[in-house]
Each structure stands twice: as structure tokens, then as C-alpha cells.
Amino acid sequence: MSKLGAGIAITGIGSAAPKAILSNDHLSQMVETSDEWISTRTGMKNRHIASSTESLSQISARAAQQALSMAGITAADLDLIILATSTPDDLFGSACQVQSLIGATKAVAFDLTAACSGFIFALITASQFIRTGVHQNVLVIGADILSHWVDWSDRNTCVLFGDGAGAIVCQGIEQGDRLLAFEMYSDGSQNNRLNLPYIGESKPLVEDIEASVGTYRPIVMNGREVYRFAVAKVPEVIEKAMFRANITSEQIDWLLLHQANRRIIDAVAQRLKIPREKVLSNIAEYGNTSAASIPLALDEAVRQGRVQPGDIIAASGFGAGLTWGSAIFKWG
């Protein structure tokens, strides 16, 4: 157990995505769309799609193993696993299955649902357990397989989403704290902007008592409204976190946003006066992978050697709920 008031460091990262790649040209064979429309409106070219034999738990475990190996610890050293996902293999949660797949016998594992803000919310949750000295080694995973829940005949949504997983290892440290600041928000009054709702049918059980039996229905989104919300709230939440961290945007080495739309990313960077070369984005290759998008892009940048130890990263997630949040941290 770490000491009360210890700081937090992110010491390892990993990611995994399904093998199959669905391109814009593939999509234009399925619905009335084009590579030109999708690329100019979203910045997306490809997305990875999970087959019936690739589960969320499996890709999460792959990402987790890479993160553990970079951190130089084993699964048996983990105290806590938080899996941010909206698309578990099992509605009761998938974190325990990941725990079993990687052999984290000492850890406690649970799921956290906050859609595309899930990874940021999970990182912040993990930091609370570390700062209070309750846990030392925490695995945070952001993973989603939204392709399970897309209406593949709806061009408004089916072009946007892809599947993937990203994981980080957070550890307690005696000196300093690499999580410089964070902010989290939600606004349930705008809940109907983006949903994956349960729809049930009445099933009479006995006289006067009926149950509702059904399943979840494909994603429905008011794209324009979510776009407007993101462009207004994301710069604000990052500015608030920068204020708390007592830093200016010139001190930010990398802007790392949830990869929902390249135009949203560009608009936020412009508003914060962060130049394009400091923006991390792999939306062209993966599309919107929901809770996975931030660690997936960070993992790529770390492994390419773009992000270096000590770099300051301003990350922000936003999405269904509506939820949004930001975390400013030093890598490594």
C-alpha cells in the first residue's frame, strides 16, 4: 500500500484493435456515402471492426498486457482494474473477465460507463484511489466495440464508429504528482442527443404484473447538436483544467482529444491556440472508438517516440450522457 497523499504517474501504455479494416470505400458499397464526404466531414478513412470471435475482454487484455510490460510490472502486482466501456461482452460487466484473462489475481476489477468520456473519468477515478493511499498499481482500460450496436444501414452513424482498446498503468509515487489537474462534467438534460437505448416489449407475467423484455437498439445521434456541444464545452473544460494546473496553453506539449471528428479537434486546437503539430490524432485509421480513442492515440504517439517522458498532455473526452472532462498530465 502506498502512503497517503502519494502522487500518480502513468508508467505504461498499450493498445489493441481488431484485424479487419473497413474503409470509406467499403462503406460506400453499403450505404449512400463517399470517401470524399466522410473524409472532409470527419477526417476518417478506416476503422477496425471486431469479428464474431474477437471480444471486448480479449482486446482489452491485449492492450493491458502491453501496458504492464512497459510499466515493468506483472498482472499479479495490480491492485485495481477499471474498465471504461459502454459495450461490455456481458451487461454485468467485463472487467472481471479481463482480470481473469491477464491473471491479475490480487486485483479488484469493475466497469465504469461514461461513453466517450469513460477513459478520462476512469483515469481520474484511479487517481483518487492512488492519492488516498488505498492502491498502488492501477490498470485503467478504455475499450469499446460500438460496431455491435451500429445500424449498418444508417449512414448518419455507421461511418463514424470503430472498435479498439487502450490501457495505461497508473502507479503511486512518493515524489511529485504527474496528474496536474482535472475537471469532469455531465448534463443529463441533453441526454437525448446521443443514445443506445434499451427498448422492451411488455410481457404479461401474472394478473396486473408485466415485465419489459427486450434489448438495446442501435445508436441514435443528433450529430449537429453533439458537434456544437463539443466545440463549445471541450475548450472550456481544458481551460479550466489549465487554470487549476497553473499552466498556459504554450506549456502544453500535446493536445489529445477524444477522436470523434477531425473538425472538432481542429476547432478546439484553434480556440486554445495550440498549433497543429502539437495535436495527436489517429482518427483517419481508427474512426471514433469511444472510450478507447484517447489511450489508442497516446499509445501510438509514445511508441513512435513523439511523446517523450515529461511532456505535458492536455487530454479531453466528451460524448453521450452528455459527459465531458479533461485531465492534464505529464507522460512517464
User: Which chain residues interact with ligand ACO by CB under 6 A?
Assistant: 33, 37-38, 41-42, 115-116, 155-156, 159, 194, 223-224, 226-227, 230, 260-261, 264, 288, 290, 319-320
CA-to-CA distance for 210 and 220, rounded, in angstroms? 27
- Measuring CA to CA, which residue among 96, 167, 180 is closest to residue 138? 167
Residue 6 cell numbers, joined: 502519494
Q: Which of 46, 137, 261, 288 is catalytic?
A: 288
CB 10, min distance to ligand ACO, A: 23
CB 250, min distance to ligand ACO, A: 27
Q: Which residues contact 57 (CB under 8 A, 6 or more apart)?
A: 89, 94, 97, 98, 101
Please say if 288 is a catalytic residue.
yes
Burial track 59-74 (b if 16+ CB lie within 10 A, e otherwise): bbbbbbbbbbebbebe
Q: Which of 96, 116, 158, 170 is catalytic?
A: 116
Smaller CB separation from ligand ACO, 101 or 280: 280
Smaller CB separation from ligand ACO, 112 or 179: 112
Smaller CB separation from ligand ACO, 116 or 139: 116
3-state helix, strand, coil in the chain (%, to 5): 40, 30, 30
CB 264, min distance to ligand ACO, A: 6
**Backbone dihedral angles phi then psi of residue 154, each to the nearest 5 degrees:** -105, 105
Q: How far is CA 206 from CA 113, 200, 209, in A?
A: 34, 18, 5
CB 226, min distance to ligand ACO, A: 4
Smaller CB separation from ligand ACO, 78 or 159: 159
Smaller CB separation from ligand ACO, 65 or 261: 261
Q: Which of 24, 158, 170, 258 is catalytic?
A: 258
CB 28, min distance to ligand ACO, A: 8
**Which residues belong to the active site?**
116, 258, 288
